[in-house]
């Protein structure tokens, strides 16, 4: 089976370092594991190609840089002119992608939803093949709120057309599915019940073969049968890790503040890069907190950065908008696969992933004192860490592997492998 994988979002490099890039790569791997011949069509490629995807067929259709507008540089008029031209360039790029897929042929199309793209609809209509639309965020709302959205009508029309054409629309969380169902326009021929049957929730997953149990969990497991096995690790402060882009909505400043309040001895590792890095480093220095900042890390290196850790953190801040809490945190699934107990904020979808007291500890958001206390208690109690980590790993393996995610998405579409999910 020939599968055309489309990513028309110029903010997501197929071979990049961000979580979205991991998602793209893992879905491609799962298709290939099913025996599919995958051809990727994308507006941004990236340069961190993993060895197992080096032979992947990739067609690059870039979105040209928007030319300068006519208004004074820095003015609202200038910004909106550039945004309008950027939107037009994005529409044109995804139109060209659709043309190339149609010319090359495909037996199925899988598209990661991007603003203004109607590529899946064009391909499925031209070739008469099934299509899967993956929706990871309410992009129209995000663009309108946080950036500039000029041609709003086209953005809505593209989403309407894509969802109408898709055999299945897979949404990363229930809030995203609700957004799709409440946003798309119903055609006279589309019944509400029929639309709901085609839209499902498929949270993120994790590659449980790539991410293995941490050394801390292995040492603790060994202590059950051989208490003397811990002798070599005595004296080393446990490592508490955060993985992610350093942006405000990840709340890393609260984790640094928590380290300053901690009573137990533990080291802090922050894996990732982003616009907040300099400010976070300044915060750590001012507070006398020793924190390791690794910078941007390619997906293949993430397992190594988790391997020597003892506790993982997801310190999401509080938000006044419940509609902002639509995410399905990739990092939390990776923490669980590494058999790490997770200390996370009680926001959004997190309580549906972390079983409080079983696979981790939930704390109130934007509360460094609560974060410090929860981490301190785990650092001081290795047996509790081991029990939580073991349960977290078992959950990741049995419920959240990427192949299981794709199997759930494909079920009932005619594209699922023979024999079902197994």
Same domain, 8 and 140: yes
Q: pLDDT tier at 217 (50, 70, 90 boundaries)?
A: confident
Same domain, 222 and 201: no
417 assigned to some structural domain:
no
Same domain, 258 and 128: no
Other beta carbons within 10 angstroms of residue 219's beta carbon come to 16
In what helix (H) or strand (E) does residue 344 lie, and over which residues does it extend? strand 342-345
370 assigned to some structural domain:
yes
Q: What is the pTM of this model?
A: 0.89
Q: For the ranges 26-30, 212-216, 313-317, which has the lowest average pLDDT?
A: 212-216
Q: If you average pLDDT over residues 153-182, what whole number do you get?
A: 96
In what helix (H) or strand (E) does residue 337 lie, and over which residues does it extend? helix 330-337
Burial classification of residue 74, based on how many CB atoms lie within 10 Å of its CB (0-12 exposed, 13-18 middle, 19 or more buried): exposed
CA distance 377 to 385: 9
421 assigned to some structural domain:
no
210 assigned to some structural domain:
no
The CA-atom distances, in angstroms, between 368 and each of 261, 278, 361 are 8, 20, 14
Does the pLDDT value for residue 4 go beyond 80? Answer: yes
* Residues contacting residue 32 through CB under 8 Å, at least 6 positions apart: 38
- Residue span of the structural domain in which 240 resides: 215-399
Same domain, 225 and 276: yes
Question: The CATH number of the domain where 363 resides is what?
Answer: 3.40.50.2000
Does the pLDDT value for residue 323 go beyond 80? Answer: no
Into how many domains does the chain fold? 2
Same domain, 133 and 56: yes
Q: Is 182 helix (H, G, I), strand (E, B) or coil?
A: helix
**Averaged pLDDT of the chain:** 91
Q: What tokens appear for 62 in the block?
A: 């870039």
Does the pLDDT value for residue 10 go beyond 80? Answer: yes
User: pLDDT digits over 236-258, tens only?
Assistant: 899 999 999 999 989 999 999 99
CA distance 84 to 421: 44
Nearest one of 132, 203, 202 to 169, comparing CA atoms: 132
Same domain, 67 and 39: yes
Q: In this structure, what DSSP letter does residue 91 have?
A: H
317 assigned to some structural domain:
yes
422 assigned to some structural domain:
no
* Residues contacting residue 26 through CB under 8 Å, at least 6 positions apart: 205, 207, 402
Nearest one of 325, 334, 400, 413 to 133, comparing CA atoms: 413
Same domain, 299 and 365: yes
What is the model's pLDDT at position 322?
46
Q: What tokens appear for 155 in the block?
A: 């953005």
Q: What tokens appear for 350 in the block?
A: 């997190």
Decide if 240 contacts 313 (C-beta within 8 A): yes
Same domain, 232 and 319: yes
Nearest one of 308, 272, 266 to 289, comparing CA atoms: 266
């Amino acid at each position: 089976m020939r599968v055309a994988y489309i990513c028309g979002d110029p903010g997501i490099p197929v071979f990049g370092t961000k979580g979205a890039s991991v998602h793209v790569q893992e879905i491609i791997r799962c298709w290939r594991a099913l025996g599919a011949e995958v051809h990727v069509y994308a507006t941004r490629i990236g340069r961190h190609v993993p060895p197992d995807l080096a032979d992947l067929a990739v067609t690059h259709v870039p979105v040209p840089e928007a030319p300068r507008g006519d208004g004074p540089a820095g003015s609202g008029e200038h910004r909106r002119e550039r945004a309008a031209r950027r939107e037009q360039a994005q529409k044109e790029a995804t139109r060209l992608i659709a043309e190339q897929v149609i010319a090359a042929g495909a037996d199925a199309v899988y598209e990661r939803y991007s603003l203004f793209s109607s590529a899946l609809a064009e391909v499925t209509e031209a070739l008469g093949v099934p299509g899967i639309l993956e929706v990871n965020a309410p992009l129209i709302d995000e663009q309108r709120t946080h950036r500039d959205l000029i041609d709003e009508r086209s953005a809505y029309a593209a989403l309407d057309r894509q969802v109408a054409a898709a055999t299945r629309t897979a949404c990363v969380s229930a809030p995203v599915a609700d957004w799709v169902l409440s946003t798309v326009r119903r055609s006279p021929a589309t019944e509400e019940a029929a639309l709901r049957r085609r839209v499902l929730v498929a949270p993120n997953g994790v590659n449980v073969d790539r991410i293995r149990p941490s050394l801390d969990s292995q040492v603790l497991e060994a202590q059950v049968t051989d208490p003397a096995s811990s002798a070599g690790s005595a004296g080393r402060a446990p490592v508490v890790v955060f993985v992610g882009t350093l942006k405000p909505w990840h709340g890393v400043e609260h984790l640094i503040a928590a380290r300053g309040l901690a009573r137990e001895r533990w080291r802090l590792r922050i894996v990732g890069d982003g616009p907040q890095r300099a400010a976070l480093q300044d915060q750590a220095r001012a507070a006398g907190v020793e924190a390791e900042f690794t910078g941007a890390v390619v997906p293949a290196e993430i397992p190594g950065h988790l391997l020597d850790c003892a506790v993982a953190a997801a310190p999401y801040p509080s938000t006044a908008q419940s509609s902002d809490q639509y995410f399905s945190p990739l990092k939390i699934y990776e923490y669980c696969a590494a058999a790490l107990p997770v200390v996370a904020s009680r926001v959004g979808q997190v309580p549906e992933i972390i079983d409080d007291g079983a696979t981790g500890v939930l704390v109130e958001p934007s509360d460094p004192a609560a974060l410090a206390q929860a981490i301190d208690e785990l650092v001081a109690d290795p047996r509790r860490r081991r029990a939580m980590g073991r349960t977290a790993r078992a959950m990741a393996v049995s419920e959240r592997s990427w192949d299981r995610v794709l199997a759930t998405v494909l079920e009932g579409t005619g594209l699922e492998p023979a024999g079902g999910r197994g």
